[in-house]
Amino acid sequence: MNLELIQRRRFLTCSLSTIFALRATRAFPADTPAVKQEFYELRTYYLADNTCVKRLSDYLEHALIPALKRITDCPAGVFQNTNMQEDRCLTMVIPFSSLQEYGGWNERLNADTAFQHAAKDYFTQTAKVPVWRRMESQLLKGLSGSPVLELPKGKTPHLFELRTYESPNLKLARRTVEMFNEGRLDELMRQAGLAPVFFGETLIGNRLPNLTYLLSAENEVEHKEHWRTFRSDPRWEQVRQMKKFQSTISEIRSRFLIPMSYSDIR
């Protein structure tokens, strides 16, 4: 084989390698940041009386939330219902940066000596004198259109509304998620002043399948006005009338919450 042919083949091989390398770099640039995707644990503690509210709050404020800040470095929220006489419970929102972080945080709590010391009184509870009657937990995945939690802006403390949209089956629940993502309902809500904190598709929990989200406002009057603005937006009406989004929601549940004094989300 002559020298010219060998050199030509080497040139073609190097050129093709360079082209493939450039294409790969453009498709997967090394400096492109990964899209952040948060997960949320939504806890509801059902309490027997105001003494239990005080005991649980002491544990959350002085033991669990400081430990969460050390472990996750994410803002946690703790809220009570606006009417604690009718429904005495505390609701807690715990953000996680990944499923791996969520899966390992109990082990990290067990290894956290400061947490164990701060929680020692809480851990003395017995079946006869429990701090809470029942605790329910949900694991949520942030929606792709709004994948991370946003702290509310403006004067604190805010009023919050926790809304859950239940669907009769997984296919229709997926359509509800698509309605929020494709319709960019998070943007429409922000423009209307509803100030969403997070949107989450519930992966594990009660009343599945469902989509749950948290809104904020300075007061109830303002919040109602923001809802009127959103519902009168022709862009929302256009999304709502789309055939594929019809009859995807079987029930809507809503609770109004106010933050505890030690809540990071206020």
Tell me the pLDDT tens digit for each residue of 101-157: 999 999 999 999 999 999 999 998 888 888 999 999 999 999 999 999 999 998 889
pLDDT at res. 34: 57
Quote the radius of gyration of the chain (alpha carbons, Å). 24
pLDDT at res. 127: 83
Average pLDDT for 77-100: 92
The pairing of beta strand 134-142 with beta strand 39-46? antiparallel
**pTM for the predicted model, two decimal places:** 0.85
pLDDT at res. 81: 94
- Taking the CA atoms of 167, 177, 92 and 40 in sequence, report the sign of the dihedral they define: positive
CB 205 within 8 A of CB 100: no
What CATH number is given for 39-259 in this structure?
A: 3.30.70.100
Instruction: Compute the distance between CA of residue 174 and CA of residue 177 in angstroms, rounded to an integer.
Output: 5
Instruction: Compute the distance between CA of residue 155 and CA of residue 123 in angstroms, rounded to an integer.
Output: 36
* pLDDT greater than 70 at residue 25: no
pLDDT at res. 26: 40
pLDDT at res. 86: 76
- H runs (alpha helix) in 148-211: 170-182, 185-192
- Coil, helix or strand at residue 91: strand
Strand partners for 110: none
Instruction: Compute the distance between CA of residue 159 and CA of residue 259 in angstroms, rounded to an integer.
Output: 8
CB 184 within 8 A of CB 203: no
Q: Which amino acid is at 82?
A: T
